[in-house]
Chains A and B, each alone.
Chain A
Amino acid sequence: MIEFLLDGLLVLALVATAAAALWSADLFRAVVMFMAFGVFMAAAWVRLQAPDIALAEAAIGAGLTGVLLLDAVSHFGRGAGDKPDPGDRE
């Protein structure tokens, strides 16, 4: 029962973070959501008894891809068409 609950929560979190990453207007928030999605995905792989893929997902999917995307967002952010950020990131 508790495992069923855990898996259900995991699926909900996956769908919620994926939707938030897709529909977020702020690119920075979308990238953070994507990284959270990667962490949940790694947990899901562990639950599916595939620890190899979980390791790869956590290291590459959530970590390095997130860093690269954050770097890209910081370049987009000062381009045209984006609303000005609240001061702490500028």
Chain B
Amino acid sequence: MMMGRMRTGLIVLACLVVTGVLASSIWTIAGNPAPVDLPRMLSENLERSGVEHPVTAVLLNFRSYDTLLEIGVLVIAGIAGISMAETTARADPNLRTGDTLLYALQRWFVPLMLVLAGYLLWAGADRPGGAFQAGAVLAAMGVLLRLGGTPMTFLRPGLLLRLGLITGFTVFLLVAVASAIAGEAFLAYPPALTRPLIVIIETTLTLSIAMVLLALFVSAPVNDAEDPDEGSPT
């Protein structure tokens, strides 16, 4: 009892110290102007980036190295998640079917979400949107389809799954290496091709992100007798 109380006290103390240090550092940062005026640099160089939205310009052009690493991490996470899956989860095609309400909802939502994902991908050029959001919407659509009982055979381990998982990362990396070979810096797009390259990278990224997120959900192990509407007496 005494030990437990002491430990709680220590934890509370540690939390308070961390909070205090964070608050003081935020306070000093907010008080002083930044040494480099990043917003001004960004708005001055926005024309060279190939897109009109500053966030997309930073993510896909000026700091595309971070995005490349991000998609790499995501692919690794997806592969790890899939490899943890039990074989029964994938061997059960007619899983979680028979919910008529979900089925009716699906017919309204799936086309809508497809259009929304396409719009988000395209809108990323000049307003909020982009590959990650579009990929997440696509994956959510896949989750809806899966819950409604669509078997999703392409997400079984195989060539299609592997290709889908790595397409985004590979295309991104190929563009990066190609520009490095052509004599520019790593990941520096040739100025004439900036916009088409960004569109291609974003599109493949969207597909890969959707596939990773969906594969994480689909490959999760499934309980038997989980559904309340399958007529199990419990």
Q: Nearest Cβ in chain B — how far from A90, in angstroms?
A: 5
- Chain A positions 29-69 with a Cβ under 8 Å from a chain B Cβ: 51-52, 54-56, 59-60, 63-64, 67-68
Contact, CB under 8 Å: B216 / A63: no
Contact, CB under 8 Å: B136 / A63: yes
Knowing A52-B128, A64-B143, A67-B143, the reply to whether A90 touches B217 (Cβ < 8 A) is: no
Which residues on A sit within 8 Å (CB–CB) of B106? Answer: none
Contact, CB under 8 Å: A75 / B221: yes
Which residues on A sit within 8 Å (CB–CB) of B110? Answer: none
- Chain B positions 133-180 with a Cβ under 8 Å from a chain A Cβ: 133, 136-137, 139-140, 143
Name the CB-closest residue of B to A60: B136
Q: Which of A51, A67, A71 has the most CB of B within 10 A?
A: A67
Contact, CB under 8 Å: B132 / A71: no
Q: Which of A51, A52, A75, A78 has the most CB of B within 10 A?
A: A52
Classify chain B's interface size.
Answer: 20 to 34
B187 on the A face (CB < 8 A): no
Contact, CB under 8 Å: B216 / A89: no
Contact, CB under 8 Å: B55 / A64: no
Name the CB-closest residue of B to A46: B128
Contact, CB under 8 Å: A59 / B137: yes
Compute the total of residue contacts between A and B using a CB distance below 8 Å: 48
Which residues on A sit within 8 Å (CB–CB) of B234? Answer: 87, 90
Which residues on A sit within 8 Å (CB–CB) of B226? Answer: 74
Contact, CB under 8 Å: A78 / B140: no
B33 on the A face (CB < 8 A): no
Which residues on B sit within 8 Å (CB–CB) of A89? Answer: 228
Knowing A51-B128, A75-B221, the reply to whether A56 touches B216 (Cβ < 8 A) is: no
A interface footprint on B197-227 (CB within 8 Å = 1, 0 otherwise): 0000000000000000100110011010010
Contact, CB under 8 Å: A56 / B220: no
Q: How far is the CA of A60 from the CA of B133 in the complex (A)?
A: 8
Contact, CB under 8 Å: B228 / A55: no
Q: How far is the CA of A22 from the CA of B193 in the complex (A)?
A: 49
Q: How far is the CA of A2 from the CA of B133 in the complex (A)?
A: 31
Q: How far is the CA of A67 from the CA of B147 in the complex (A)?
A: 11
Name B's A-contacting residues (CB within 8 A): 55, 120, 128-130, 132-133, 136-137, 139-140, 143, 213, 216-217, 220-221, 223, 226, 228, 234
Name A's B-contacting residues (CB within 8 A): 51-52, 54-56, 59-60, 63-64, 67-68, 71-72, 74-75, 78, 87-90
